[in-house]
Structure 1
Amino acid sequence: MELADGEERHGQQGSGDPVRAEGDRVPPHGDAERDRQRAAREKAEGDRPCQGVVAPARTALAQQRRGERPRDQGGGQRREQRGEHETRIGPCPPQPSVQLLVPVRQSCANDPRLAWSTMTGTSHSRRLLVSTGPLAMSPLNWTFDAIADAGFDGAELLLAHNPESRDPEKVLAYAQEAGLDIPVVHGPYMVLLRTVMGSNYIEKTRRSLAVSAEIGARIMVAHAPFRWERGARGWVLSEVNDVAAGTGVTFAMENLFPVAGRNFSSVVTPEQLQAFPNVVFDTSHFGVSGIDLFQAWDALSERVAHLHVSDNFGNGKDSHAPIGSGILPLERFLARVGASDWSGTITLELDCRAYLDTRDSLVAFLARERVKAATLLAGGELDPPLAATPDPVH
């Protein structure tokens, strides 16, 4: 479906020219004040969903990796997984300081993932991931390295325009080298990816499930067919789960949102999601739809296979904003999820355009958001509390 110039695009990835990351500019340190300033700009200008970033040239990337040898000579940031901890092998930038980036009142500030495990006993099943979607135009190995250096041990992979994201052999090699695994894959259902892996919904889904299985993912995130795609709508209700079962991958339907007040997607509300045994619960999308997170969780928690967590600015557009920078009650919502017996994976799906000037800036931003999410899931509080965050100012 072609969209007219200026029309809002349907999907997380946004429209417009790619944002370029210029390694020679050093941004200010990421902090709550920066998030508030960014929120003000977005509200004033009208936010655009997160889009891909064109990474610096490979020579610049090599310099940013701080002495790392080229991968074809056995270099890279290799990690050996050992239980809940990891041992870094080879050169690696130091981890950002948790205390500096996110002051936290509880002892989980030192390692929120360990505190979460202690408090809930379910850290193995409730894993925090980060989406590759906002970096879909960057080299995949660069993206995986940045994610790992932000403290994540897994990622949600978007099957995108770049062929390497759809090449299981390369995905697995890059992931192993970075010390990541890929438990969740997102199919190419956004409007910007409408021709990736075929334009026919059924064929696109079959191929996405097959690639997900080769990568070893447990879950494949899907968007519903458009309302007018009657044949595909019938297929996802009657046949897709059998197809997915044959691959060993769970087909999980994500809630979408109205665009300019119109529901193009056939699945927006909790009632529509209840037609599917496995769903992906996206907080920003429910925010756009004006649907209460707690009511949606009550209706869907038994079906939720995977969570997409981000904030929303409340202007009717899909923000995927940093935690605490928007209007959603994420502090209370994540505390409730963390205190429940729900077990599943959680992806931070974030607009990162304000942090793409350098690799270090991106890593620090992702690390800070990881700490925020893990702390709130563990029942902790951020300082200052998110509920007391003042309105952004210009």
Structure 2
Amino acid sequence: MSPVRIGLSTSSVYPESSAHAFGYAASLGYDAVEVMVGIDSLSQQTSAIAQLSEHHQIPVSAVHAPCLLFTQRVWGTEPWGKLERSAEMAHEVGAEVVVVHPPFRWQKEYAAGFVDGIAALEASTGIAFAVENMYPWRASQKRGMEMYLPGWDPSAEPYANTTIDLSHAAIAQSDVIAMADRLGPRLRHVHLTDGSGSAKDEHLVPGRGSMGAAAFLRHIAAAGFAGEIVLEINTRRCNTREERIADLRESLAFAREHFAVTTA
């Protein structure tokens, strides 16, 4: 029996670098690292990521493709090329998952072929492209704009692999347990974090928001979740290294306490 791995996203230590993320993960006892491509220059270099993984003796569980607004020009501007390059990095560093967001509404051609294109990429690369839940963009609690195509809820599409992010679900006011049930075995990846339900993507330490992160972890554990759990929190407001370490340590302890089931 081997436990589901608890990993750390390199974005969780921003503005520190991906190199710092590997160091924190190793020293605090995380099982793996997810690389957010574009968060710093090191994250874009496959050889550097491989060296960090080897140096710290900690595996890479996933590569997050550069599909955020502020990483739109990382690895070029052609979206399929960026996903192919993400799969190449995943292969070379030993990761089995690429996390990807659905297209923005203005990426109409990309969006039109996205569902079939993701399936084709999985078939050609052998990498799981876990499509992440997003959210309507809201200026207030009541009004929102649909900014993603074919939609922000991956359970509405026939993706073979998906990611649930609890902070994104908080903005969308989604029931993450119900979403996990709709996805069933297609839930491959979890971004463990939290949110208060505001219009901001908060990425709180799990347990500090209103998303019922503990109940969610217990639910997917009981359902036999066998993918990767990655802490993706915002520590930018930490004033000292000690504060950041405390948040990272608390997050890891939370995950291990509430996801206690092992899988074969």
Residue type matched to 2:228 in 1? Answer: T
**Cα offset for 1:241?**
2.6
Residue ranges of structure 1 left out of the alignment (5+ in a row): 1-120, 380-394
Establish whether residue 176 from structure 1 lines up as the match of residue 54 from structure 2.
yes
Indicate the SS of the match to 1:189.
coil
Q: What CA RMSD, in Å, does the superposition of the two structures yield over aligned residues?
A: 1.8
**Cα offset for 1:319?**
1.1
User: Which of 213, 237, 240 lines up with 2:115 in the alignment?
Assistant: 237
**Cα offset for 1:279?**
0.6
Separation in 2, partners of 1:339, 1:189: 32
User: Which of 238, 242, 248 lines up with 1:366 in the alignment?
Assistant: 248
**Cα offset for 1:303?**
0.7
Can you list the C-alpha shifts for 1:157-204, whole angstroms capped at 9, x where unaligned? 011153321222111111111121102110111101111111222222
User: Which of 126, 131, 138 lines up with 1:248 in the alignment?
Assistant: 126
Residue type matched to 1:144 in 2? Answer: F
Distance 1:214 1:270, change over 3 A: closer
Deviates more, 1:127-136 or 1:368-377: 127-136
Separation in 1, partners of 2:77, 2:14: 19
Can you list the C-alpha shifts for 1:180-231, whole angstroms capped at 9, x where unaligned? 1102110111101111111222222222222222222100000111123232
Aligned residue in 2 for 1:212: 90
Residue type matched to 1:300 in 2? Answer: L
Separation in 1, partners of 2:162, 2:13: 24
Can you list the C-alpha shifts for 1:118-145, whole angstroms capped at 9, x where unaligned? xxx551xx11001101335433322211
User: Which of 128, 132, 153 lines up with 1:269 in the alignment?
Assistant: 153
Residue type matched to 1:323 in 2? Answer: P
Indicate the SS of the match to 1:253.
strand
Distance 1:127 1:244, change over 3 A: same
Does structure 2 retain, via aligned residues, the 8 Å contact 1:338–1:377? yes
Aligned residue in 1 for 2:176: 293
Residue ranges of structure 2 left out of the alignment (5+ in a row): 139-143
Aligned residue in 2 for 1:375: 257
Does structure 2 retain, via aligned residues, the 8 Å contact 1:147–1:363? no
Distance 1:136 1:323, change over 3 A: closer
Residue type matched to 2:258 in 1? Answer: L
Aligned residue in 1 for 2:141: none
Separation in 1, partners of 2:122, 2:28: 32
Residue type matched to 1:269 in 2? Answer: D
Distance 1:161 1:283, change over 3 A: closer
Q: Number of residues paired by the alignment?
A: 255
Aligned residue in 2 for 1:388: none
| Structure showing greater Rg | 1
| Bigger relative contact order (CA 8 A; separation at least 6) | 1
Separation in 2, partners of 1:342, 1:271: 16
Aligned residue in 1 for 2:200: 317
**Cα offset for 1:362?**
2.0
Aligned residue in 2 for 1:282: 165
TM-score, L = length of structure 2: 0.90
Does structure 2 retain, via aligned residues, the 8 Å contact 1:166–1:211? no
Deviates more, 1:276-285 or 1:361-370: 361-370
Q: Work out the percentage of aligned pairs sharing the same amino acid.
A: 25
Indicate the SS of the match to 2:189.
strand
Indicate the SS of the match to 1:371.
helix
Can you list the C-alpha shifts for 1:252-304, whole angstroms capped at 9, x where unaligned? 110111112111112312543x3211111111111111111121111012211
Deviates more, 1:238-247 or 1:162-171: 238-247
Residue type matched to 2:218 in 1? Answer: A
TM-score, L = length of structure 1: 0.61
